[in-house]
Chain A
Amino acid sequence: MLAELINPYHLQVASFILINIILGVSIYITLSTGQLSLANAGFMGIGAYTSALLTLNFDLPIIVGILAGTLMAGLFGIIIGIPTLRLQGVYLAIVTLGFGEVIRVIFVNWESLTKGAVGLSGIPHMGREILNTLKGFGFDPKVLGLQNNQFVFLTIFLLLLVITTSIVMFFRRQNRSRVGRAFAAIKLDEKAAESMGINITYYKVLAFAQGALVAGFAGTLFAHVLAYISPADFAYHRAVEILIFAVFGGSEVIWGPVFGALFLTVMPEVLRFISEYRYMIYGLIIIIMMAVRPQGLIDVNILNWIKLKTSKRGQKHGTSSQKSM
């Protein structure tokens, strides 16, 4: 019975939604200090390439690759963050955009390592590796009434679901901590925050590095779920796509980018005829949102309203994103 319900294609789409949610969170973290960073696609690329190259060339287990890729992206985040965070607003946006382009040009041109524009293929697939390991212990998916590839995609989905939920929960908690309050103070007024004794540089670099870390992590997952990466996956379009998750969903609360990533990944899949015009619609959404609702769809007011509605019905409180999953 379970076997008929599980469609690998749907699970694959769901996995991409979860990865996109992680990317949305990554831009949300830097935005929560009022910094617009467009380098997250580049960090994602660094994570993906590091992990892919380590697992391909040195036969390391995927988990080591993922850890190394994530840390590498975070390291780059700190290195790039310390000098660039002296810049403000649009200057920071342009430098981070430039950084992303430099990373892409390096991926394209360092052919001996990255195979250039062709990209890397045959990257170890997360789900298959898990299946092989389990088979080594004498497990067979048929016990559950599943075919091999159904099992593979189901494992990936469940694994990503756990990972994404923990990431969202972690940053939700962080928002209510000392760190989160410092971020919010910096976003509202840097000078005032500084005079209140908040170490601005420290918290800005922290937010930037956290964003890089999370984006790099999403990149490693992307590489091991898709098993194929190329420099085009981490170019300007990816940077804009990540940005629009936060612009559309909202960047005031963490549920904003989560909802944005969910909605904007599902939309082109459900409405097939739209997917050809996807980026045109993205462009229109950005223009309209900026003119009509610059804070994004989900803000504090909406969240309170949803809480009120759901608590009236006596349900456990939740958000739209959880319900529709």
Chain B
Amino acid sequence: MLIEQLINGITLGSIYAIVALGFTLVFGVLGIINMAHGEIFMFGAFIGVVVTATFKGPLWLAFLAAILVTAAMGYMLERFALRPLRSKQGVSHLAPLISTIGVSILLENLSHHLFGPGNHPFRASFAEISFQIGSITIYLVQIVIFVISVLLMYALSFWLGKTKAGKALRATAENLETASLLGVDVKRTITMTVIIASAMGGIAGILVGMAFNSVTPQMGLSIGLKGLAIIILGGMGNVKGAMAGGLILGLAETFVVVYGNSGYKDAIAFVAIIVILLIRPQGLFGQKISA
């Protein structure tokens, strides 16, 4: 029982971690909070539903389609909501936040019109396959989710740490103007970052669809807000912090459902950020807070 709940918590936590990674990438480079990330994630989940349930396509095609669509949305977000604000002088630092809130509202209601407000089941053929190890039941989906999220985190760390593009990205995050003086194509790097973050959101969307077997237009908001809570918990712009924060929140929520009142599950994330911001504003793993 305990181990099963632990596995559930880790599954949930690794999904949260992927969502949070998307937030953290954009915050690390641009210093802005992308409120539309949750809705892009939700669109990824819907593309998964459309491909597998409506067109009876295979799962890999669903992943591919979701990545392509969410990457395109990431580009549009960068091009129309963020870039116009960057070139302007004297724009309040709250402007990009408000602008992405606009994108999130637009996308949420767009999905209402495109897919309908109800709950869409996600029919993955292997969702019911499970193993028995002793008295513990493990679903194949849980393993797939965990493996994919670990792979994604490794790929991201490798990309950030070892490749030239990753180095350019870190330089841009450090200082935009200096990086551009040193020959980094800042515009391209920023666009790349937003696109990659959005595509990761799309992958997370499909994983959530598989794990919970339900997709609704409102899920973007609730999971997006939790992703936001996680990056504050783990430290803004900190990749390892996002992973750890995701796992902590996933486990905490699972155990509150088991041992406490399930209704208050959704409040944990926010109580946690309120507390963490007051006690340790740089987050659990952050070094210092950027003024």
Contact = CB atoms under 8 A, between A and B. Distances in A.
Interface string A261-301: 00000000000000001011011111100111010000000
Nearest to A241: B105
A306 B181 CA distance: 46
B32 to A, nearest CB: 8
Interface string B21-33: 0000000000011
Contacts of B84: 290-292
Contact of B229 (A89, A91, A98): A98
A292 B91 CA distance: 11
A88 B94 CA distance: 10
B98 A286 contact: yes
Interface string A16-59: 00000000000000000000100000000000000000000000
Given A90-B94, A286-B105, A287-B80, A108 B263 contact: yes
Given A98-B273, A286-B101, A279 B267 contact: no
> Of residues B97, B98, B108, B267, which shows the largest number of chain A Cβ atoms within 10 Å of its Cβ?
B98
Contacts of B281: 86-87, 91
A6 interface: no
Given A101-B270, A247-B98, A279 B263 contact: no
Given A236-B221, A240-B101, A280 B109 contact: yes
B266 interface: yes
Interface string A76-94: 0000000110111111011
Interface residues of A, number: 38
A102 B267 contact: yes
A101 B272 CA distance: 12
A247 B105 CA distance: 14
Contacts of B47: none
A109 interface: yes
Nearest to B263: A109
A105 B101 contact: no
> Of residues B84, B106, B232, which shows the largest number of chain A Cβ atoms within 10 Å of its Cβ?
B106
B267 A294 contact: no
Contacts of A94: 33, 228, 232, 273
> Of residues A88, A105, A283, which shows the largest number of chain B Cβ atoms within 10 Å of its Cβ?
A283
A33 to B, nearest CB: 13
A101 B38 CA distance: 16
A105 B222 CA distance: 12
Given A101-B270, A240-B105, A294 B91 contact: yes
Contacts of A240: 101, 105
Given A109-B261, A290-B102, A101 B97 contact: no
B92 A287 contact: no
A290 B95 contact: yes
> Of residues A97, A236, A279, A287, which shows the largest number of chain B Cβ atoms within 10 Å of its Cβ?
A287
A95 interface: yes
A294 B92 contact: yes
Given A94-B232, A247-B98, A287 B81 contact: yes
B164 interface: no
Contacts of A36: 94, 97-98
A283 B229 contact: no
Given A101-B266, A236-B221, A287 B106 contact: yes
Interface string B82-120: 001100100111111111011111111110010000000
B277 interface: yes
Nearest to B99: A290
Interface of A: 36, 83-84, 86-91, 93-95, 97-99, 101-102, 105-106, 108-109, 236, 240, 243, 247, 277, 279-280, 282-287, 290-292, 294
Given A86-B281, A105-B267, A243-B98, 9 more contacts: A91-B281, A279-B105, A283-B105, A286-B98, A287-B102, A290-B85, A291-B99, A294-B92, A294-B95
20 contacts: A36-B94, A87-B277, A89-B94, A91-B281, A101-B225, A102-B267, A105-B264, A279-B105, A280-B106, A283-B103, A284-B102, A284-B106, A286-B105, A287-B80, A287-B102, A287-B106, A290-B95, A291-B85, A292-B84, A294-B95
